[in-house]
Amino acid sequence: MDNNGNMDTNRHHGKTAIVTGAGSGIGQATLLRLAEEGTLVTGCDISAESLDSTRVLLEKQKLTAELVVADVTEQEDVAHLVSSLEGPLDILANVAGIMDHFVPLGELQDALWDRVIDVNLNGVMRLTRAVLPLMEKAGKGAIVTVSSEAALGAGASGVSYAVSKNGVIGLVKHVAYFYGPKGIRSNCVIPGPVATGIGASASPESSWAMERASLKFATMQPTPAQPDEIATLISWLASDEASNVNGALVTADGGWAAA
Ligand SMILES: NC(=O)c1ccc[n+]([C@@H]2O[C@H](COP(=O)([O-])OP(=O)(O)OC[C@H]3O[C@@H](n4cnc5c(N)ncnc54)[C@H](O)[C@@H]3O)[C@@H](O)[C@H]2O)c1
């Protein structure tokens, strides 16, 4: 933003980016923001229908971006997404994710665990691994991964989501430490509640576990953020202004974690 509150449309001028989960919520807001800030951005999502809604918003705002249907859990899709880039990649925003219906460990079916870990953790690992060679070759790159308040305290989700969102923190720090000297920065955004489409996978399936979880929400009921309030942080962490920020876990939760 400049002093008049206008968006800096040159912040990422000429840079390239991949944003996952670009069909809805935080991923969609991130794609729109990066495009408006001058990035040549490729957005992917598992849902073609959701990407259609992103396309409509891009047209409305007179912005352009590549939109690709891809499942981050499929190695073939990930490889295709990265190989279809023309030239280097400056920014990766790992945003795609699903919730786990607040299912506690004792009621957990393997299928739910496998899917949540696959999307939220394995997907981030696969795509990050795939872009590293491009960033290493260029000697620069910024990766921003979305974790969750569920990584800081157990009451914000069931077990699968909490473990997956803790897992990505390890991945973020690994990349920051080992690849920092190669010019690659890796940071983590930790949102509290955000008004998005994730509710579909958040409907509670265990009444006692939800009752227990709701105690956490009762400690301080945070007003759900708008997706762009998270996108603006992702954009900043990906920008050259954040050149000395590497391996950071940054909350964007209206103060929830501080309670
Ligand atoms: N909404 C919240 O309150 C909240 C809080 C903390 C963290 N988060 C995290 O923010 C991220 C974005 O979620 P959101 O709230 O915008 O939800 P959302 O449901 O609005 O958007 C997520 C998008 O990811 C896509 N997606 C799901 N599985 C995919 C896959 N396998 N491959 C590619 N795309 C896939 C979905 O189709 C959807 O468009 C997630 O990682 C989520 O865990 C959300």
- Asked if residue 213 belongs to a domain, the reply is yes
Q: Which of 86-95, 182-191, 213-222, 233-242 is least confident?
A: 213-222
102, 113, 161, 179: which one is catalytic? Answer: 161
Whether 43 maps to a domain, the answer reads yes
- d(CA 52, CA 28) in angstroms, rounded, equals 11
Respond yes or no: is residue 179 known to be catalytic. no
Q: What is the per-residue pLDDT for 19? A: 98
Distance from residue 252's CA to the centre of ligand 1 (Å): 16
Q: What domain range is 112 assigned to?
A: 16-252
211: tokens are 């009752």
Instruction: Measure 3 CA to ligand 1 centroid, in angstroms.
Output: 32
Ligand 1: centre distance to CA 33 (Å): 17
* Probe residue for ligand 1, chosen from 68, 114, 196, 221 as the CB with the greatest number of ligand atoms within 8 Å: 196
219 pLDDT higher than 90: no
pTM exceeds 0.85 for this model: yes
Q: Residue 100 has which token pair?
A: 């786990």
71 lies in a domain? yes
Q: SS3 for 43?
A: strand
Number of separate domains in the chain? 1
Question: Does residue 175 surpass a pLDDT of 90?
Answer: yes
**How far is residue 59's CA from residue 69's CA, in Å, rounded to a whole number?**
18
Residue whose CA is closest, atom 32 of ligand 1?
A: 71
In a domain, 4, yes or no: no
Q: What pLDDT is recorded for position 250? A: 98
Ligand 1 binding residues, C-beta < 6 A = 20-21, 23-27, 44-47, 50, 71-73, 95-98, 119, 123, 146, 148-149, 191, 193-194, 196-198
Nearest ligand 1 atom, CA 200 = 19
**Residue 79 covered by a domain:** yes
Note whether residue 3 is domain-resident: no
CA distance 176 to 147: 15
- For the chain, strand residue ranges (E) read 16-20, 40-45, 66-69, 91-94, 141-146, 184-191, 249-252
Q: Which atom of ligand 1 is nearest to the CA of 72?
A: 32
Instruction: Tell me what pLDDT residue 217 has.
Output: 83
Q: Quote the pLDDT of residue 37.
A: 97
Which amino acid residue places its CA nearest to atom 19 of ligand 1? 198
Domain of residue 152, CATH code: 3.40.50.720
**Which residue lies with its CA nearest to atom 41 of ligand 1?**
97
The answer to whether 83 and 75 are in contact (CB under 8 A) is: no
Does 132 fall in a domain?
yes
In this predicted model, what pLDDT tens digit does every residue of 9-40 receive, in sequence order? 899 999 999 999 999 999 999 999 999 999 99
In a domain, 2, yes or no: no
For the stretch 51-106, pLDDT in tens is 999 999 999 999 999 999 999 999 999 999 999 998 899 999 999 999 999 999 99
